[in-house]
Structure 1
């Protein structure tokens, strides 16, 4: 049975993102996946990486549980809004703290990075008030690129598919329901093609050097 971790990265439980995450989870379950829905707003942790990567910052219990969920997942979904061309602070803080060097990635002796969460697939779902041509053409699709390429792929997850929802501002109830149905369909589709659990790369923590940026 495939295992899917759905990360709801919106601070508001009444948001469209929260509803999209729920509907994706429902679709994946209907296709036989074992699904965990993780709402970051419910976690208790320090958003700030207080000393960068120069010193260890012990993980809070909620982040340790989140790491365990990432390890056990075949497929990871992140649902978040685009704010100022980036992501909400709660998601950025979660990624900074949870995707530890030596656990989610490391640097080889030749200086090249190695993702340590390899074998898992992912999807990024981003809501936006801006039209697609504006985000992709003029803004460079910065939030999607940040999550897809600079974070998830960097940590070894692939393929990482992207779904853009919007413009949300001014959308009708019918349009929002259509987006919810789209996410349910994606949940079912992704559950059927998620990697087999026995093909996952074991996550092994490796020692990190003392100094970093």
Structure 2
């Protein structure tokens, strides 16, 4: 399987990087082809400019590569911290520029803005890993976990991905080495279960 792994965290050595590294290793060991994009390390430009909006526009080479990879991916893994109930701006810009009409979804030619989209992504499953410094009970009671709705309903299911799993790890800032090790073991299990070993037959 082809798996697209997108990481959005500005600090090398962060727990987000550990999650992404664990997921990538498990996927490689299972025989999958993994495209890893560390958006900060790549200095991904999140700005969607007006000339890039038309569907038939000539895209910059790096954006065209991202579009081709996500369109051909059989699975998706996304890793980012919870900032203000949202992904980092660099990842929101990736959504804007890469999950574009004609690549990730389309509407009927007769649609005037109120129709139902047809998802175009071929990925059968996606996993979103998040980190937070807010206790889970407070996250649910006060904020309602907006990332759940964002990724499942507003992005991935919208684009045609039928199975979306999400796991939030926290509180990261006060976590122990033992807790982080257990979390990474959970990452390994979830990735292995969602994207099992490639058959050699």
TM-score (norm 1): 0.82
**2:164 match:** 160
Q: Aligned partners of 2:22, 2:53: CA distance in 1, in Å?
A: 40
1:12 aligns with 2:18: no
Gaps of 5+ in 1: 197-213
Query: Paired residue for 1:78?
Result: 78
Q: Is the contact between residue 124 and residue 148 of structure 1 (CA under 8 Å) also seen in structure 2?
A: no
1:142 equivalent in alignment to 2:141: no
Moved beyond 6 Å, runs of 4+: none
The answer for the alignment partner of 1:169 in structure 2 is: 173
CA distance change for structure 1 residues 100 and 54 in 2, over 3 Å: closer, same or farther?
closer
Is the Cα–Cα contact under 8 Å of residues 24 and 186 in structure 1 kept in the other structure? Answer: no
**Mapping of residues 34-49 of structure 1, within 5 Å:** 34-49=33-48
Q: Check whether the contact 2:16–2:131 (CA below 8 A) recurs between aligned residues.
A: yes
Provide the alpha-carbon RMSD of the alignment.
2.3
1:145-184 Cα deviation digits (max 9, x unpaired): 2122101111111211111111112111111111112112
TM-score, normalised via structure 2 length: 0.86
Return the alpha-carbon distance in structure 2 between the equivalents of residues 54 and 19 of structure 1: 35
Q: Would you say the 8 A contact 2:71–2:104 is kept in 1?
A: no
Q: C-alpha displacement at 1:118, in angstroms?
A: 4.1
Number of equivalences = 194
Larger relative contact order, structure 1 or 2 (CA cutoff 8 Å, min sep 6): 1
Q: Is 1:188 matched with 2:192?
A: yes
Cross-structure match for 2:32: 33
* CA distance 1:52–1:176, change in 2 (3 Å): farther
Displacement of 1:138 after TM fit? 2.2
Cα 1:170–1:45 shift into 2, 3 Å: closer
Is the 2:80–2:88 Cα contact (8 Å) retained in structure 1? yes
2: distance between equivalents of 1:19 and 1:50? 33
Relative distance call for 1:53 and 1:147 in structure 2 (3 A) is: farther
Task: Name stretches of at least 5 consecutive residues in structure 2 with no aligned partner.
Answer: none
Q: In the alignment, which residue of structure 2 is the partner of 1:207?
A: none
1:117 and 2:121 aligned? yes
Rate the CA distance shift 1:54–1:91 in 2: closer, same or farther, 3 A. closer
